[in-house]
Chains A and B, each alone.
Chain A
Amino acid sequence: MGMRKVAVVGAGMTKFVRRAQETGKELSWEAVRMALDSCEMTIDNIEAVCMGTAPDAFDGLHMKAEYLSDGAGAWLKPYMRSYVGGGTGIFAPIQGWYHVASGLFDTCLVVCEEKMSSFYPHAQAAFLTIFDHTTERALKPNLLWIFALEMNRYMHTYGVRKEDIARVSVLHKRNAADHPCALLGEPDITVEDVLNSEVLAWPVQRYDVSPVSDGAVAIILAAEHVARRITDKPVWIEGVGWCLDTAYWTNRDLCYPRYVEVAARMAYEMAGITEPRKQIDIAEPYDPFDYKALHHLEGLQLADRGQAVQLYIDGTAARTGNMPVCPSGGLLGVGNPIAAAGLMKIAELFWQLRGEAGARQVPGNPRRGVAQAWGDLMQVGTVVVMGR
């Protein structure tokens, strides 16, 4: 394809918290500072900056990426924001990747930030106006409705039990207990805790959902010849893919995310992956809701339709299993500052594949992982395959 090889060479991440005192600029700066320090680079070594951040409404500032630019290290540099809703955190590194793969830049800093606590009284309200003003908004729908409807259809179609779906939340929140940046790590949580949590919109309960959060993540990308000078452990971006399904969610297959499948197949083809279940060592599917992780594992071709929950039942998804899922703790455990949460998954694969994940380290020297996010009007799939 004439593309250059691109590696992740550094990563940094703030704590994910419910309400940060830091401004969005300060959160961004903190993540950038850590990413630069992690690979002993200075901002002068960075040729371009990509910023991923979700609706302006969250931070309460229109043109928020431009406002964040000084914190993102973009002073007098080519700078560009990308935004595909919840999929942003995996799309921003794709954008950074083509900045470098194309040959235009040798290094690119990718920053994702979200400060959802600014939205008052709750970030959920930012989503009240994403619905069609003529056919839907009169009913005052919110996102929980949509996910409850989708989850119910998924459970019905495949006969997946709620108590099994709850295992996803349990595993991810337990994994997050080992993440120093996590908001909701809970080492002792049980399926009963999930099933006994407050019902929000049946079948969605409190512990089925990830928390709104504030935070930022940054990674540094470099072309091969630069990456090899910076580190002896580059983690390559082996494949990328993205895809948008129909804008109208009732025209979509609610039981199967085709938008993820198309994006995954694009990324797998680029990465030379023909048997993902054998060739992927770690999966970081997007998990804002527990059933969504299952949905996405199926879209990623890592489980048959309706069967992803078996990975949790038989232990495959555990950190010590054959294909650990969300060893980071995912959005359910680490937190969900939208764009930053997606890039957190890229950072997690970077640390895991370098053997630097500390207490979260997946055993057996994993060599390849896939990260995925989902968003826009519930219709975008974004996928990145990384390997060493």
Chain B
Amino acid sequence: MTLLERDPNAPVSWKGTLPVTSRYTFGLAGERFFRAIKDEGRILGTRCPECDITYVPATLFCEQCMAELTEWVDAGEIGEVHTYTLLFEDMDGNRLSQPEIIAFVRLGDGGLVHRLGEVEPDELYIGMNVEPVFKPAAERTGSILDILYFRPVD
């Protein structure tokens, strides 16, 4: 029997699906966070003065003391590559012609997982300073993909 042949003794079966379609809201903090990306090309955080934490992306509350956070801050234009990985295969296991670079970029006390661009894998290092490259303002929709990628800061 080849790999693609079914076991002739397998029980008779038929196919079904579990269909799920969802629509998500940004949330109260998310509305402001993504609006700032869309309208101003800025990444915002919220600060908990009590716990001395700057949450990026911005949140409505501090998860450590449960206080409401009302102090909004600009997370700055420069983040630091906290860690990264190089993707050599796509979701289906096909070899990519160029490895894709995914990094966790530290901003405030949090950060974003995003793509890196305008950089060769062998130039990469942990601790590298990077900045976001946004889509042109007219093309932004209020999505995390309004940030095209992060690139090294000269």
Contact = CB atoms under 8 A, between A and B. Distances in A.
A73 interface: yes
A150 B66 CA distance: 44
Contacts of A319: none
Contact of B25 (A21, A36, A126): A21
Given A70-B63, A75-B64, A118 B27 contact: no
Given A33-B61, A119-B20, A125-B19, A21 B66 contact: no
Interface string B19-45: 111111111111100000000000000
Contact of A60 (B20, B28, B61): B20
Nearest to A20: B25
A57 B30 CA distance: 21
B19 A73 contact: no
A133 interface: yes
Nearest to A60: B22
Give me the 8 closest cross-chain CB pairs, A-B, nearest first.
A60-B22, A23-B27, A70-B63, A120-B21, A43-B66, A29-B61, A75-B63, A118-B22
Contacts of B96: none
A33 B66 contact: yes
A21 B65 contact: no
Contacts of A133: 16
Contacts of B64: 43, 75
B119 to A, nearest CB: 32
A66 interface: no
A42 B66 CA distance: 8
Nearest to B15: A133
A71 interface: yes
B24 A26 contact: no
B60 A29 contact: yes
A29 B29 CA distance: 12
Interface of A: 19-23, 25-26, 29, 32-33, 36, 42-44, 57, 59-60, 70-71, 73, 75, 117-121, 125-126, 128-129, 133, 137
Contact of A21 (B19, B28, B61): B28
B18 interface: yes
B68 interface: yes
A118 B16 contact: no
8 contacts: A21-B31, A23-B27, A32-B66, A60-B23, A60-B24, A120-B21, A121-B21, A125-B20
Contact of A36 (B21, B26, B60, B66): B66
Given A57-B20, A119-B22, A120-B22, A23 B30 contact: yes
Contacts of A119: 20-22
Nearest to A23: B27
A217 B53 CA distance: 27
B65 A26 contact: no
B20 A33 contact: no
Contact of B68 (A33, A73, A117): A33
A71 B22 contact: no
A121 B63 CA distance: 32
Contacts of A126: 20
Contacts of B63: 70-71, 73, 75
Nearest to A71: B61
Contact of A29 (B19, B20, B30, B66): B66
Given A29-B61, A36-B66, A70-B63, A22 B20 contact: no
Of B18, B21, B59, B61, chain A has the most CB atoms within 10 Å of the CB of B61
Interface in B58-102: 59-61, 63-66, 68
Given A36-B66, A60-B22, A129-B16, 8 more contacts: A22-B27, A23-B27, A23-B28, A26-B27, A43-B66, A118-B24, A118-B25, A125-B20
Contacts of B31: 21
A161 B19 CA distance: 38
Of B61, B63, B65, B66, chain A has the most CB atoms within 10 Å of the CB of B66
Contacts of A59: 22
A43 B22 contact: no
A110 to B, nearest CB: 15
